[in-house]
Amino acid sequence: MTKENTNRGRFIVFEGLDGSGKSTQIDLLCERLKKEGRSVVKTAEPTMLTTGGIIRDALAGNYQRSPEELSALFLADRIAHNVNPKNGIINLLSEGTDVVCDRYYYSSFAYQGMDCDIDWVIDMNIKCPSVTKPDVCFFIDVPTEICKERVDKRGGFREIFEREQNTLERVRAKYAEVFRKLENENIVLINSEGSPADIAKVIYSSLPQFAL
């Protein structure tokens, strides 16, 4: 049985399709934790580091990269995200800070796993000693037609995975496959029905009290 660690910060990840409302729920949770006196840092992947910039360039369609190459770039960015000595995930958690991350390796498994060996993508992340396992992952499950409608209303630039509803459907199905494979991870599926405040209450009630 895993012993609870009351000193280490909690690593909380949010996942979901584009347009699922992740950003809203991340903001609501961070606000509540800060009101409780918790030290909280909000972060995201891809990062703002050099590796993250290369990834965003590829996601914008400006430079074509193979699924395997993109998977490796995400892993490199994730390692940098973890080990950065100043504001890396590992250091923040050790200081007792709760880290709330918009997307993590689950996204790599779902998105890159559509076009290359998903087990290879999972294996190289899970077995990497510099990649921290989240204490909880909240997946906000929203029907693809609603996500597509929200993305369309948002307007402006859209990444390559946001442009077609059938792509969103493939991603949603791949997430389901990923979660079946990761049966030992603490993954909480959040029904999107209800107001943002109602959804936030469900998320907060499912939050681990301490780091695992």
- Per-residue pLDDT, averaged over 27-43, amounts to 97
Model confidence at 2: pLDDT above 80:
no
| pLDDT value, residue 1 | 44
Amino acid at 21: G
Q: Which two tokens stand for residue 160?
A: 């390559």
Give mean pLDDT, residues 17-30.
94
For the ranges 63-77, 149-163, 184-198, which has the lowest average pLDDT?
149-163
pLDDT average, residue stretch 34-38: 97
Top CATH class of 11-205 equals alpha beta
Q: Which residues pair with 40 in a beta bridge?
A: 98
- What rounded mean pLDDT belongs to the chain? 91
Single-letter amino acid, residue 81: H
Instruction: Using the structure block, give the residue that is written with the tokens 């689950």.
Output: 106
Reported as a single tens digit per residue, the pLDDT across 130-150 is: 999 999 999 999 888 888 887
Continuous segment of H or E residues that includes residue 140: strand 136-141
Residue 158 confidence (pLDDT) above 80: no
Domain limits, the chain: 11-205
pLDDT of residue 139: 98
Q: Please write the tens of the pLDDT for every residue from 75-129.
A: 999 999 999 998 999 999 999 999 999 999 999 999 999 999 999 999 999 999 9
d(CA 59, CA 62): 8
Q: What are phi and psi of 110, to 5 degrees?
A: -75, -50
What is the per-residue pLDDT for 145?
A: 85
Q: Is the pLDDT of residue 160 over 90?
A: no
Provide the token pair at 76. 């490199």
Which one-letter amino acid corresponds to residue 48?
M
Residue 161's nearest CA partner among 106, 120, 101, 112 is: 112
